[in-house]
Amino acid sequence: MPDVKVTAVTPDTAIDVVGLVKRYSNSPVNAVDGISFSVRRGECFGLLGPNGAGKSTTIGVLTTRIRPTGGSAFVDGVNVVADPVRARSRIGVVPQRNNLDRSLTIRQNLLFHARYHGVPAGQRNARANALLAQFALTDRADDKPDRLSGGQAQRVMIARALMHSPPVLFLDEPSTGLDPAARLFVWDRIRELAESGVTILLTTHDMDEAETLADRVGIIDHGKLLALDTPQALTHSLVGSATLDVVVHFDGAFPSSAQASARPSPTAEISPRPDGDVLAELGQLDGVVRVERIAPDGPGLRARLYLTGDPARLVAPVAELVATCGGKLSDVRLGTPTLEDVFIHLTGRALR
């Protein structure tokens, strides 16, 4: 039996997670390692993290698919381990992958789900009609899932999850693979649901989606919750109030150590790679508080400078410094830190 603790549930929260732990038998480390958070009723909460960070395991516990090793988890006041059947009646789940019944029409998919969850027969058709209209699917009600686009199928899965009027909705990557128009439509429906009082927990790798939809976000990695706050507060927590993205290309011979030592600007020891030399010296410019390599760019590099002050005033010094390193500045973008910057700062750039 898992060591599941029963803790007090706050009346104004729809999801309560306290000290949640999950370890799989074939793993030397915890997939979820003692995380705690709560989601307020009517809140849209984003759970972010790299692949393998523990997001799916956490959602699996909350949706009763996975039994935790320790800690406690409540959804709408129901202990998900002690009373999984009742917990499932309180939640709607929209998976990332299409799992609609291909042998049934769209309307039949909705009606079957309602029947499974005990919705009275007299209410099913009216509820299906309302949701089909809300998600712009009325004219596709008698089609089978194979005839739908990806965006239409996603809308059907959300409508299906709402057929039993759950107070809590889990969305896994709700806009993955959607075209821009379909994505915006889904976003609008998610906003409407939150405004109507439905509590939403979404997982996403789309930082724009999280910034746009989530009232608060939690960032998880290696099974631990690294940060939890509003998107705005998290971006303001980064050192540097502005960003300067640069793309540098190198062609021809690079300066020798002797040439580098003769530069009038602050210098760093010349490195075997010229892009490393540029990164080191960019970090010494006045007003630069941090420099990150974004990605290699052919023979050059992409880098982001985090600044205190106006980034425009640094364009000329950066161009001059790049030239002394034998490079050429081919692109410049001014901006401010984003949720993606916070995510990368906390979880790193390594592929998972």
**CATH number of 271's domain:** 3.30.70.3400
Q: Is residue 136 part of a domain?
A: yes
Asked whether residue 341 is assigned to any structural domain, the reply reads no
Q: Looking at 87-96, 110-119, 266-275, 326-335, which range is the least confident one?
A: 266-275
Find the Cα–Cα–Cα–Cα dihedral 115, 121, 123, 127, rounded to 10°.
Answer: 40
319 falls within a domain:
yes
Same domain, 163 and 302: no
Q: What is the DSSP letter of 5?
A: P
Nearest Cα to 107, choosing from 85, 80, 84, 138?
138
In terms of domains, do 326 and 246 share one?
A: yes
- Asked which of 35-39, 110-114, 237-241, 284-288 is least confident by mean pLDDT, the reply is 237-241
Question: CA nearest 287: which of 259, 316, 322, 260?
Answer: 316
* Stated pTM of the model: 0.80
- Give CA–CA dist 203/61, Å, rounded: 14
pLDDT in tens, 158-208: 999 999 999 999 999 998 889 999 999 999 999 999 999 999 999 999 999
254: pLDDT strictly greater than 70:
no
Q: Is 342 a member of any domain?
A: no
Query: β-strand 168-172 against 199-203: which pairing, if any?
Result: parallel
- Per-residue confidence (pLDDT) for residue 277, from 0 to 100: 73
- How large is the average pLDDT for residues 320-346? 88
Tell me the DSSP string of 104-138. S-HHHHHHHHHHHTT--HHHHHHHHHHHHHHTT-G
Q: List alpha helices for the chain, DSSP H.
A: 55-62, 84-89, 106-116, 121-134, 150-161, 180-195, 207-213, 231-236, 257-261, 274-282, 315-324, 339-347
CA dist 35 and 225 (Å) reads 6
**Which pLDDT value is given to residue 265?**
42
Same domain (yes/no): 80, 227: yes
Checking if the pLDDT of 299 tops 70, the result is no
Same domain, yes or no: 285 and 210: no
348 in a structural domain: no
Residues 208 and 117 in one domain: yes
* pLDDT confidence of residue 330: 87
* Residues 247 and 218 occupy one common structural domain: no
User: What is the biggest distance separating any 2 CA atoms in the chain, rounded to whole angstroms?
Assistant: 86
Q: Which of 236, 268, 288 is the last residue of a domain?
A: 236
Percentage of the residues of the chain whose pLDDT score is greater than 90? 66
Query: Is the separation of the CB atoms in 243 and 341 below 8 Å?
Result: yes
The domain boundary residue, chosen from 236, 269, 301 = 236
Residue 345 lies in a domain: no
Question: Given this model, what pLDDT does residue 58 score?
Answer: 96
Same domain, 87 and 113: yes
pLDDT of residue 275: 64
Lowest mean per-residue pLDDT among 42-51, 73-82, 103-112, 250-259: 250-259
Q: How far apart (Å, rounded) are the C-alpha atoms in residues 35 and 54?
A: 10
How far is the C-alpha of 87 from the C-alpha of 71, rounded, in Å? 17
Q: Per the domain annotation, does 48 fall within a domain? A: yes
- Same-domain pairing of 220 and 119: yes
More confident position, 249 or 38:
38
Same domain, 197 and 315: no
Q: Do 250 and 187 belong to one domain?
A: no
pLDDT at 45 > cutoff 80: yes
Tell me which residue range forms the domain holding 328.
Answer: 242-336
**Claim to verify: residue 78 and residue 32 sit in the same structural domain:** yes
8-state DSSP, 340: H
- Residue 44, domain CATH: 3.40.50.300
* In a shared domain, residues 264 and 231: no
Half-sphere exposure in the Cβ direction for 94 (13 Å, CA): 28
- Residue 264 has a pLDDT of 42
Given a cut of 90, is residue 315 above it in pLDDT? yes
Number of domain units in the chain = 2
**Residue 74 located in a structural domain:** yes
